[in-house]
Homo-oligomer: A and B are copies of this chain.
Amino acid sequence: MPLRSDWSEKSCPMARCLDVLGDPWAMLVMRDVLSGDRRFDELRSRLDVADSVLSKRLAALCEAGLLEKVPYTGTVRPRYEYHPTAAGRDTAPILQALARWGDKHNTPPALEWTALEVYCRRCGTEATESADWCVSCRAPLRPESTAWIRPSQWDDVRPLAI
């Protein structure tokens, strides 16, 4: 993790959020867990990240209460899945806000077809006005009512994993 001050006691809630989520890998781990990846190998493969980096981020996200380790069987050694907690699921609006900015302001021409679409599963419309609120059916865009259609997954539209 980058060396910086402890911001967990800051009066500004943005700083307190960044104390947990101010690392870009942490944000992408939450993206992939909410997209359905749960196991170390799945996350490592999707993120293309070094084992040590991923281990540290997963441990930090568990300690901060965004993920919880759940053992799974069927392997020789005990292994764990990483499941999002309520606090972890509430990162979805942040991630969706990042995506709106990235699509609007940092899209190289070769990637213009890749805009992330956030669908409201309650009313079946694409959310285009807000990262966290469906303007059509007037309800929050929570993971359980949202689907992300990601550039690499046009043929695999699925609800966010909760």
Contact = CB atoms under 8 A, between A and B. Distances in A.
Interface of A: 2, 4-5, 7-9, 11-25, 27-28, 31, 48, 64-65, 87, 90-91, 93-95, 97-108, 110-111, 114-116, 129-133, 135, 138, 140, 150-152
B93 A100 contact: yes
Contact of A94 (B101, B115, B135, B150): B101
A17 B99 contact: yes
Contact of A31 (B14, B20, B103, B130): B14
A105 B5 CA distance: 19
Contacts of A129: 133, 140
A21 B98 CA distance: 9
A138 B9 CA distance: 34
A132 B132 contact: yes
B13 A97 contact: no
B13 A18 contact: no
